[in-house]
Amino acid sequence: MAELATVAMHVDSREKSSPHRSRKMNFACKKLFTSASRALLVRKNLKDLPLKTFSTEILQPKAQKETITINFMKNGSKIPAKAKVGDHLLDVVIDNDIDLDGFGACEGTLSCSTCHLIFTDEQFKIIGTKPTDEELDMLDLAYDLVDTSRLGCQVFVTKEMNGWEIEVPAGVSDARDV
């Protein structure tokens, strides 16, 4: 509280010099008084509260996501990958350290088309979610575009995808370079 009294005295002495400065100082003083009084109230209330202890040693394990196998087809080669249900297909490629040139260059921010994937008609129907307008805009810039094309950063892995073979187009187009 002594600091607040010092500030108040300082404000009073400056008021005589400039009305513009005194308004600024009054505002600063009010702000200081308000935050200081709040801090004092909090400190006082905290001292009165009984302390409770708790232990973080016994934590419940997180439920493990179910893992399935997805095969990426690139230039006729089958590249198997372990995929966690609920992850994006882009994450599957990254987590399995699959070397696909330029794949996921924007890191899933929907600002390129490098994670372009091609699904069969049946697979496309099972995916469930429809592509958004933003995804369709990015797909328009992708090479080898077909009706069943999707961006891997927008498709979630489901249990039904176990064993799927998903085609990775031969060419990569980074929409950020257009």
- The pLDDT tens digits for 149-173 are 999 999 999 999 999 999 999 877 6
Helices first, then strands: H and E counts in the chain = 5, 5
pTM of the model: 0.62
pLDDT score, position 34: 52
Contact 136, 128 (CB under 8 A): no
pLDDT score, position 171: 77
**Nearest residue to 116 (alpha-carbon basis) of 54, 169, 41:** 169
pLDDT score, position 94: 95
Residue 60 clears pLDDT 50, i.e. is over it: no
Residue 4 clears pLDDT 50, i.e. is over it: no
Residue-range domains of the chain with CATH: 67-168 (3.10.20.30)
Report the first-to-last Cα separation within the chain, whole angstroms: 62
Rounded Cα distance, 33 and 30, in Å: 5
Mean pLDDT of the chain: 77
Beta strands, E only, 9-159: 67-74, 77-84, 116-118, 149-151
pLDDT score, position 128: 79
Q: Beta-carbon neighbour count of residue 92 at 10 Å?
A: 22
Residues in the chain: 178
